[in-house]
Structure 1
Amino acid sequence: MYATERQAHITRHLAERGRVSVVELADDLSVTTETIRRDLAALEQQGILRRVHGGAVPLRTGSVVEPSIAERMMVNADAKRAIAHRALDAITDGYRGAVVFDAGSTVGAIAAGLGERVAATGARLDVVTHAVPVAHTLSLLPDIGLTVLGGQVRGLTAAAVGTSTLSALASLRPDLAFIGANGLSADFGLSTPDPAEAAVKAAIVRSSRRVVVVADQAKFGVESFVRFAQLSDIDVLVTDAAPESSLADALEAADVEVWIA
């Protein structure tokens, strides 16, 4: 296979997955990892991608770059629906409790499936969220109690942030939290580009008895600008592919359950 063909393959998979792995690409294309690294270097010089530890991400995926909620909903949509379906297993038969929903497209997919899960399990939930799209979805469900936290709404994510949001979260002790992340790495933990959004995520993590993080494989190895939690702060990671060895080892050391959708 010529270099141009390999690089076209890499570019296509990057667009589909949001991240590519050197090892996986080498296996897919039956070439050495050194060959893949040269291809990634060439594509980086062309302005197509940015190399990160173990692979590459799209060029615009810098530590402070943040896509809008509308853009996120279009990326890896099938994977996010599968992750959401698996994450809802955290709500077991007859579950009783308070649940916090973070902002984000994958968490939004969980909210979209909550009504069916409640009907199937007989769960009785009091739900809290600071995310406007999630609040709208949950407001249509007749069998849950819904509290919407106020604050300054960020246009990019349609989520409330700021002092009033943080103050409200500090007074809560929910049983379960569903939370998203822009980045998930062995060394840096969980991260997101915006400091205000990170503060809210950190407050959710601190306040919740059980934290379920939902993140597709495109987030693996990504380190966004602001860390909001260590791996040891979370209980479950729900994702669409097994993490690479370094991240898998770090998750195991932190006693994090990994659920594959």
Structure 2
Amino acid sequence: MYPEERQQAIASLVMAKGRASVTELAQAYDVTTETVRRDLAVLDKAGIVRRVHGGAVPVRALHLVEPGVGERDVTRSEHKDAIAAAAAEFFPLSGASVLLDAGTTTMRIAAHLPTDRELVVVTNSVPIAARLATMPTVSLQLLGGRVRGVTQAAVGEQTLRVLDTMRVDIAFIGTNAISIRHGLSTPDSEEAAVKRAMVRAANYVVVAADSSKVGREDFVSFAPITSVDTLITDPEISAADRAELTDQGLEIICAGDHQ
């Protein structure tokens, strides 16, 4: 196979799968990893794929436009349900403080809040606040600020000022993308600033994200991988991605994995 043919085949595979590792491509086309890296460099320069740590993703995987809450809520919903159930095991003892980021997975986590203990819950999510407002065991603080319609999340200077004064026991954070090189990332800079402040405010950080987010990069990075204590995802995460993240010190929990 000529290099041009191999590069075209690699591009097609990356587009079809959404991500491919250097090792996987080397095995698939019976070439060395160095050859694959050269091929990916050519494809990256041509704007066909984007190189990421350990492999490549389609250029379209770098998102600048966000889907709305309704669209995201029905995407991979079974995985999100399982992730939320697993996240519930991390709720602290009575009297502790919990920070819930806005998002469709964290909204499901909120539905699992225990009723047998009193917790202080802080959130910038209007839907999460509405769900928790009538719970007698929850002392709820809704962060103020400008509400973004697409995510129904409070953002802006007012939100950041309050977060900068806080220290919470645990934060449950959502993300649009996770990669070794770019860390946790999201399309909107204001949303990224709030997420960054949430991570800083927490003694323990749990990221709840299905495996489609892993290996992707979005516009604005808000936290390095090393700032995360636990990632709760689904069993479809690749062995290579799981190993890379574990090497960075993350605890990886695959919700719904019965093996």
Query: Once structures 1 and 2 are overlaid, which stretch shifts more, 59-68 or 137-146?
Result: 59-68
Q: Look up the match of 1:199.
A: 193
2:228 pairs with 1:229: no
Counterpart residue identity of residue 102, structure 1: D
| Superposition CA RMSD, Å | 3.1
Query: 1:91/1:243 Cα in 2 relative to 1: closer, same or farther (>3 Å)?
Result: farther
2:66 pairs with 1:66: yes
Find the aligned partners of 2:152 and 2:241 in 1 and give their Cα distance: 34
Aligned match for 2:240, one of 237, 245, 248:
245
Q: Look up the match of 2:103.
A: 104
Q: Look up the match of 2:155.
A: 161
Query: 1:222/1:229 Cα in 2 relative to 1: closer, same or farther (>3 Å)?
Result: same
Counterpart contact for 2:57–2:216, Cα < 8 Å: no
Find the aligned partners of 1:21 and 1:87 in 2 and give their Cα distance: 28
| Unmatched segments (≥5 aa) in structure 1 | 1-9, 27-31, 38-48
2:141 pairs with 1:147: yes
Counterpart residue identity of residue 148, structure 1: L
- Within 5 Å, which residues of 2 pair with 1:1-261? 19=18, 33-34=28-29, 54=55, 61-91=61-91, 94-114=93-113, 118-119=114-115, 122-241=116-235, 242-246=237-241, 248-253=243-248, 255-261=249-255
Find the aligned partners of 1:85 and 1:108 in 2 and give their Cα distance: 12
Query: 1:131/1:50 Cα in 2 relative to 1: closer, same or farther (>3 Å)?
Result: farther
Counterpart residue identity of residue 135, structure 1: A
**TM-superposed deviation, 1:247:** 5.3
For residues 103-122 of structure 1, the C-alpha deviation after alignment (integer angstroms, 9 at most, x for no partner) is 111111101222xxx13xx3
Query: Once structures 1 and 2 are overlaid, which stretch shifts more, 132-141 or 244-253?
Result: 244-253
For residues 2-41 of structure 1, the C-alpha deviation after alignment (integer angstroms, 9 at most, x for no partner) is xxxxxxxx9xx97xxxx46579x99xxxxx7349x9xxxx
Q: How many residues align?
A: 227
Secondary structure in structure 1 of the residue aligned to 2:207:
strand
Secondary structure in structure 2 of the residue aligned to 1:157:
coil
Counterpart residue identity of residue 197, structure 2: A
Q: TM-score, normalised by structure 1?
A: 0.76
For residues 86-105 of structure 1, the C-alpha deviation after alignment (integer angstroms, 9 at most, x for no partner) is 0111125x443000000111
Counterpart residue identity of residue 69, structure 1: V
Find the aligned partners of 1:75 and 1:212 in 2 and give their Cα distance: 21
For residues 181-232 of structure 1, the C-alpha deviation after alignment (integer angstroms, 9 at most, x for no partner) is 0000111110000000000000000011111000100001110000000011
**TM-superposed deviation, 1:159:** 0.3
Query: 1:244/1:153 Cα in 2 relative to 1: closer, same or farther (>3 Å)?
Result: same
Counterpart contact for 2:242–2:252, Cα < 8 Å: no
For residues 130-180 of structure 1, the C-alpha deviation after alignment (integer angstroms, 9 at most, x for no partner) is 111111111132211111010000011000000000001011101010000
| Unmatched segments (≥5 aa) in structure 2 | 1-12, 31-35, 37-47
**TM-superposed deviation, 1:56:** 5.2
Q: Percent of counterpart pairs with the same letter?
A: 40
Counterpart contact for 2:215–2:241, Cα < 8 Å: no
**TM-superposed deviation, 1:234:** 1.1
